[in-house]
Structure 1
Amino acid sequence: MMNFFERSLQIIHANQSKHGAYVASPNFSQYGYCWFRDGSFISAAMARAGNKKSANKFFRWGFRVISEQKAQIERLLAASHELITHKDLLPTRYNLDGSLTSDDWPNGQSDGYGTFLWAVEKYAPQDLLNENRELIEILSKYLIKVWNIPCYDVWEENPEGIHTSTLFSIAAGLRAAEKILDKETEWIEVMSFIERELSKDGRLKKSSLSDDVDASLIWGAVPFELFPVDHPAIVNTVKAIEEKLYINGGVKRFSTDTYFGGGSWILLSATLAQYYTRSGEFEKARAIRKWIESHFDSKGLPEQVPEHLIDSSKYPEWLGRWGEIARPLLWSHANYLELLLDLGGKS
């Protein structure tokens, strides 16, 4: 029988470039790049699994990229807030060597940089933090400047909105910077905004544009720990996710998702299972783990599983446009590793 834990580590190792970047997926036409979001979650899982050398290699790559974007950050810090749009924000993805891409991808996203700060505070060695203290400070100033500027969400849609899971990523990053720098940031203001403006009927909502629920809202509790798992807003949000997005082990992104028809996402299922584990609901967590492992093949885990589709007519459209669903997706493997570590079993 395949050892899924070890195989996940192998897949991530095999797809980390010599520069330190993790490719999102090695054989999917649109994913041959490194996203700060994916890479930060992957590096955190690798560090937690004992592969600190791999994680530190990514952290160094990230700091190099931020250093090269320093002039752009300084321009934004000097700019009038009301004139900044998502088009001015730092890119969310880069070529594996850290250079800028030259396409029209919806790059203006803020969550990846917050996730990066969260990951480095949690797992980077102190000497690496000391070396990059100035970059951590300028990046935290950048996030303070732009957190409430509408941008693309974590699914690279809806640039006119302010998105709750994006703000969770930023709040987690600013809280991390506060610990590293021993200097106050605005993470509490960001959380206050979420509770005031992005909540409805006792639960969190997807964004300023939508009262719907989104599975990424679990990040507020897992992994970012901005809320305890038993906080009423989180408990009520998970109930809504169970009602609207969960089917037999798999979790949808949101109720109107039509990307590849709107299948069930491995990485979100793993995060929901982590929530269950930390809430003491081990049967539910193990059921999701079993579902994830049933979709593990020789290539690894996919991004999503095309089952119980929200709009099955869209599935062939995406197949024709971009080919088969990404497999392996490194972020899927990272979140699966995190689940196994939470459950205390590596096999």
Structure 2
Amino acid sequence: MINDKPYLIDAITGNSRFLASLGNTGRMYRLWWPNIDFPQHVDKIRSGLFFENGLGGTSWFDEPDYGWIHEAAYVPDTNIFRVTANHRTLPVTAVTVDYAVPGEDFHVRDYTFTNTGDEPVSFQFMFYSSFSITENKLYNTVFFDEEADAIVHYRHRYFFSIGSSNVCTGFQAGFAWEAADTGALRGSMIEMTTDGGMSWKISELAPGASVTIPVYIAAGNDRFESLAALAKAKSKPSTEWFAESSQYWHEFVAAATPCPTDDPETKDLYVRSLLMFKLMSDEKTGSIVAAPEFDENFTRCGGYSYCWGRDAAFITTALDKAGLGSLTDRFYDWALTAQDPDGSWQQRHFHDGSLAPSWGIQLDEGASLIWGMWEHYKHTGSREFAERVWPAVAKGAAFLVTTLDPETGLPSPSRDLWEEREAEHTYSAAAVFGGLSAAASFADLQGQAELAAEWSAAASRVSAGLDAHGYNEARDSFYRALKLTVYPHVYHEAAERGEQVFTKTSAKGYVTHHVQHDPVIDISLLGISVPFGAVAPEDTRMQKTADVVERELTMPGVGGIKRYEDDTYAGGNPWVLTTLWLAHYRIANGQYDEAKKHLRWAMDHRTQTGLLPEQVDKVTGETAWVVPLTWSHAMFVLTIFMLAEKGQF
């Protein structure tokens, strides 16, 4: 049995309580509940057919090696995912439909089998489930509940009951893989382990006839809640749950702002973005997840299933443009709970507001949140919202003022937005400018003239610092950072080249090494202008910076824009959001044809199921990393509305 889960997935489904990630074969790789960020519970869920005197074992139809050929796509304008599996030799087609019913604590896996042959056919449908509840294989139990006709998995206060409105004909609680693979479940009732199996016999299915077996995964905080959710799932035919869910998603899309263009491809991606945004917004807390987790063991990255304030500020601005302001409202209610007592916001958080694994504070995170709050206020004009966030804005702005370096006027060293370096970053400075300017506007709204003047003056010190220290004439670009912390060998090499270097000694006597300037070209330099407005788009320095960014960061051959010159993360590929960031600047500078070129590139590199990844392989042009990335979809939505506002559609 294949144990590894892929980094790249093909689809997500859910209802903002559940979030599931799926492959194009229909295999469910991960399932989150009751929050969409943590914890994840699925080890393996497999399904297949066992034919007596057939292949010698179960033919798992979520696996191409068993002879199945798959076609996968979303049901249009919904978060319902359908996979059709046809076998090269077996006379059965299997259609799997996955969705979570909105407002309910159960996920539906609807299986329909059709006899495509000329003779009646008999088989067993096998369903194997292995749970690693709360991402832990310890202290799990699985049992068969005869009254509910269900396999129940549980650990601590997480219970998952699996059953169907069709009464099963076989089951096994514990040590079930080999039995399921050989079509011989043994009827054991309970084990302190992680897996179980169920089967349904289909006898003499006539040529052309079909049979549907819905399988429900119902969740609860104890067995009674879980079994009650399963009973509710069984209380209606799955066709009714499908119709209700489909109607919900159609109404959700219809209530949003219409796509600002009639171009069919753009409209399709816009609708998919709307639907994806809802799945990424946690119903329980209002927080927004950056991406469904795909590297939970941190083998190639530091994890994505968290909320970053920076990502969220871009995302909520896009939500407002798309008419999904209620999600924005709920997010900022959550953001108030995640603020530290000193007014800062840390790098990233779990959706319950607790601190996620971190590399240290990034000043652009909290600054972006304050900026995003003001953008939301400008969009809604809601004084109630402004009153609600004002205490957090005031604390946040006061904190940002304390970070300004009296020597440069820029925010003191922190981690950069890519979470790789410590310095006085130009992008962080731009975000702090945006945050302080937004805070000053809130203060004006509150009649707090002294605070407004103080924060406006602080923002002016940041922009003056960028003017005085931020531009690199040698490269016709702004510096990426000042006072960059480096390894000792980098420090010595820079000193030998005659560059400005210095060291610092901490209170405990530890020495750190620094270079005065970081000249690397980075897409985030565009943030000085868009979205934060510290430097006007038409400023000659900004225009030169954008041109250098495009020249140095465009990937030869495949196209697209990578993050920065010497990027090696996940292979050093072009990113969707960076390419669209350049489109944003081109729009702001009136270069609409250039912007449309970058938009076209991003759209051309969506996945087959219409999702935008983080990265595109620099050689093949295929999806390379993280599917879907919420920030990528946000940048797409912002791009099309920016073009529309300029009359370019």
TM over 0.5: yes
- Tell me the SS of whatever aligns to 2:287: coil
Asked if 1:11 is matched to 2:276, the reply is yes
TM-score, with structure 2 as normaliser: 0.46
Q: Where do residues 214-229 of structure 1 align in structure 2 (5 Å cutoff)?
A: 214-229=522-537
Q: Give 1:155 deviation, angstroms.
A: 0.3
Asked if 1:135 is matched to 2:396, the reply is no
**Letter of the structure 1 residue corresponding to residue 426 of structure 2:** T
Q: Give 1:306 deviation, angstroms.
A: 1.8
Match of 1:82 in 2: none
- Asked which structure has the greater RCO (Cα within 8 Å, sep 6+), the reply is 1
Asked if 1:245 is matched to 2:553, the reply is yes
Match of 2:287 in 1: 21
Q: Where do residues 70-109 of structure 1 align in structure 2 (5 Å cutoff)?
A: 70=341, 72-73=342-343, 90-101=345-356, 103=357, 105-109=358-362
Give the aligned CA root-mean-square deviation in angstroms: 2.1
Q: Distance in 2 between matches of 1:277 and 1:132?
A: 31
Q: Does the 8 A contact of 2:320 with 2:376 survive in 1?
A: yes
Q: Structure 1 or 2: larger helix share?
A: 1
Q: Distance in 2 between matches of 1:36 and 1:153?
A: 13
Match of 2:625 in 1: 325
- Tell me the SS of whatever aligns to 1:162: strand
Q: Distance in 1 between matches of 2:402 and 2:290?
A: 28
Q: Does the 8 A contact of 2:313 with 2:369 survive in 1?
A: yes
Match of 2:371 in 1: 118
Q: Give 1:346 deviation, angstroms.
A: 11
Q: Where do residues 290-301 of structure 1 align in structure 2 (5 Å cutoff)?
A: 290-297=600-607, 298=609, 300-301=611-612
Percent of aligned pairs sharing the same letter: 27
Match of 1:77 in 2: none
TM-score, with structure 1 as normaliser: 0.85
Match of 2:443 in 1: 181
Q: Distance in 1 between matches of 2:533 and 2:619?
A: 31
- The answer for unaligned runs of 5 or more in structure 2 is 1-263, 296-302, 405-410, 445-451, 485-517
Q: Structure 1 or 2: larger strand share?
A: 2
Asked if 1:305 is matched to 2:607, the reply is no
- Tell me the SS of whatever aligns to 1:173: helix
Q: Give 1:276 deviation, angstroms.
A: 1.4
Q: Distance in 2 between matches of 1:212 and 1:218?
A: 13
Q: Distance in 1 between matches of 2:354 and 2:640?
A: 34
Deviations 1:155-189 (A, max 9, x none): 00112x11000111111000000011121211110
Q: Give 1:249 deviation, angstroms.
A: 4.6
Q: Distance in 2 between matches of 1:38 and 1:346?
A: 26
Deviations 1:324-347 (A, max 9, x none): 611100000001110011121999
- The answer for unaligned runs of 5 or more in structure 1 is 74-88, 310-323
Among residues 34, 50, 54, which one is paired with 2:307 in the alignment? 34
Match of 1:152 in 2: 415
Q: Distance in 1 between matches of 2:291 and 2:393?
A: 28
Q: Does the 8 A contact of 2:430 with 2:533 survive in 1?
A: no
Deviations 1:54-86 (A, max 9, x none): 1111111111212xx22x44xxxxxxxxxxxxx
Q: Distance in 2 between matches of 1:6 and 1:291?
A: 18
Q: Distance in 2 between matches of 1:275 and 1:334?
A: 15
Task: State how many pairs are aligned.
Answer: 313
Whose Rg is larger? 2
Q: 1:59 to 1:231 in 2, by over 3 A?
A: same
Asked if 1:207 is matched to 2:469, the reply is no
Among residues 332, 339, 343, which one is paired with 2:643 in the alignment? 343
Deviant stretches of 4+, over 6 Å: none
**Letter of the structure 1 residue corresponding to residue 535 of structure 2:** F
Q: Distance in 1 between matches of 2:345 and 2:316?
A: 20
